[in-house]
Structure 1
């Protein structure tokens, strides 16, 4: 009854205000592509940024309300990280159907170095951090470019997640203390100037191999399927932007997307410490293992449409199995 009255009132209002429904339909048809463009370029990336800043705000509140730490643990960040891990795992599961294959390769004790391919935005690392924290009870440390520490509002989150500058000494000491450390040799350059063909952009970087050898640490190669279909960097004017980046190290390449594609992180077979292996050989071996993961699991060139349809593969496979 109330619904019918509401519809009658709406129709009366439209009639009285002389609104031309055909004209409104034409306007919607005209501006619909623009609406979708704005959604893709601004609203979806803004959503993940809001989530990141919300995480940082939560850590800031938690730090100042550290009376709660006695209710969790002697570690001031323990309860906060558990809470954030649950939220990030939930977000990854809902938006990307996120999964991890090979999580058992990360031991519950001892140093481990994870070497990974860097997408335009490393949201796959946030999801992996949550999985490792919740299901292996370990905190993954990670190093980042210096500019990350200059972004306002993220200081507390960086502190809670143990994100530190990418220096040889910090990386080595982190592993020698028995922690899990994640490094992307491609870094910001690979993030901004990689493309949907998923080629590694490492240049001659072999520092991670030297760190692993000197700290006698096992290396685990990592790659996340469709990470470049989730968030992409603009290719327009890339040559100029690449020149500016190489001269200034300013990450000025715009990113867009946050598409709800299927994401699966693959942790490859561990590469154990071998005192007889040189830095060059170990770096080449790790690079080949990551390239193998990409070759096996990633469609190239990547397709956003196909990556979204990957979310439904499980349903189709179950249907086909029932028919058989």
Structure 2
């Protein structure tokens, strides 16, 4: 029927324009272009479904981009030796303050970042800060920035070995005094009067913990022994909603097995949602020569559990 209509159309065309219109309709029908609207509708539906899904996996990479931009800034800063005279005696003081301002601004704009109990951090002298590790410890970055801006202090940090293997991160880790964590080096930093931040759960807690906020510390008590050997107070820290901002697929059995078997931190992270972050610092736990590492570890664990806000998410012990 359609072919007959096309033939009659072509034969009955009275002028060139009519002939071209008939040819167009014939080609449209031959190529199936009449279904284009249906195809576009399906495509629109797929975009509507998958675009939000793609965004939540892309947003965490923006944090990586910010980290590399910070590294680029440090390399440029290093070459500008004339800036040395602008800041105290340490070449990197100005760079740290500049990047702290950048990250503090990001936290204020994107997460409305707040910190409660900053006065519990000593203005001088050592202290061990023990915190819960989110899927991305961006709350800890904001904490470090606030510490530099409001207290004028830097904090040494203990990080997993894999972080030192990421291309380009060496300078960033050096400038912000990140160490891979032998107990002797941690004790040395504290005895030299520095602040030191440790997450006992580390990468395991980052990948395998979930929205119920379990503390995946296992039987780790090395951080407690560091505090005892250094004779310093321990300050617990927890950030409300850090798991609502970024989550990990490490809770899936495959990724959990992959990490537990090969120690590969490859579980995808998604999120980047602009939720409110509130960091709470608990009361310092003073040095007590009469308790051992296991007892201090349990005391710190209990204190971290209490360092959340009243209306914050419930935190549980190891599952």
* Cα distance in structure 2, aligned partners of 1:294 and 1:264: 9
CA deviation string 1:25-74 (max 9, x = no partner):
774344212111111112x1121111111011111211222331221121
* Cα distance in structure 2, aligned partners of 1:291 and 1:187: 17
Which residue is equivalent to 2:300? 286
What is the aligned residue count? 281
Task: Give the secondary-structure state (helix, strand or coil) at the position aligned to 1:115.
Answer: strand
1:67 aligns with 2:82: yes
Which residue is equivalent to 1:261? 275
* Cα distance in structure 2, aligned partners of 1:169 and 1:240: 36
Task: Give the secondary-structure state (helix, strand or coil) at the position aligned to 2:307.
Answer: helix
* Cα distance in structure 2, aligned partners of 1:21 and 1:272: 71
The 5-angstrom pairing of residues 89-100 of structure 1 reads 89-100=104-115
CA deviation string 1:280-308 (max 9, x = no partner):
1111000001112247352249xxxxxxx
Which residue is equivalent to 2:100? 85
| Equivalent residues of 2:280, 2:309 under 8 A apart | no
| Equivalent residues of 1:192, 1:251 under 8 A apart | yes
Which residue is equivalent to 1:40? 56
Which residue is equivalent to 2:164? 149
- Unaligned 5+ segments in structure 1 are 1-19, 302-324
Q: TM-score, normalised by structure 2?
A: 0.83
For residue 238 of structure 2, the aligned residue among 213, 223, 234 is 223
Which residue is equivalent to 1:54? 69
| Equivalent residues of 2:187, 2:226 under 8 A apart | yes
Structure number, greater radius of gyration: 2
1:203 aligns with 2:203: no
Task: Give the secondary-structure state (helix, strand or coil) at the position aligned to 1:293.
Answer: coil
* Cα distance in structure 2, aligned partners of 1:39 and 1:223: 27
Which range moves more in the overlay, 242-251 or 212-221? 242-251
Which residue is equivalent to 1:248? 262
Task: Give the secondary-structure state (helix, strand or coil) at the position aligned to 1:138.
Answer: coil
Which residue is equivalent to 2:24? none
| Equivalent residues of 1:62, 1:80 under 8 A apart | yes
1:124 aligns with 2:149: no
* Cα distance in structure 1, aligned partners of 2:237 and 2:311: 12
How far has the Cα of 1:276 moved from its partner? 1.2
Which residue is equivalent to 2:33? none
| Equivalent residues of 1:198, 1:294 under 8 A apart | no
Which range moves more in the overlay, 66-75 or 266-275? 66-75
Which range moves more in the overlay, 186-195 or 54-63? 54-63
How much is the aligned-residue C-alpha RMSD, in angstroms? 2.0
Q: TM-score, normalised by structure 1?
A: 0.82
Which residue is equivalent to 1:270? 284
1:104 aligns with 2:119: yes
Task: Give the secondary-structure state (helix, strand or coil) at the position aligned to 1:223.
Answer: strand
The verdict on how the C-alpha distance between 1:21 and 1:244 changes in structure 2, with shifts beyond 3 A counting, is: closer
| Equivalent residues of 2:240, 2:309 under 8 A apart | no
- After superposing on structure 2, the runs of 4+ consecutive aligned residues of structure 1 that deviate more than 3 Å are 20-30, 294-297
* Cα distance in structure 2, aligned partners of 1:169 and 1:297: 39
* Cα distance in structure 2, aligned partners of 1:268 and 1:232: 25
* Cα distance in structure 1, aligned partners of 2:274 and 2:282: 25
| Equivalent residues of 1:183, 1:208 under 8 A apart | yes
Which residue is equivalent to 1:167? 182
How far has the Cα of 1:242 moved from its partner? 2.3
* Cα distance in structure 2, aligned partners of 1:297 and 1:218: 27
CA deviation string 1:171-213 (max 9, x = no partner):
0000000001000000000000000000100010001111101
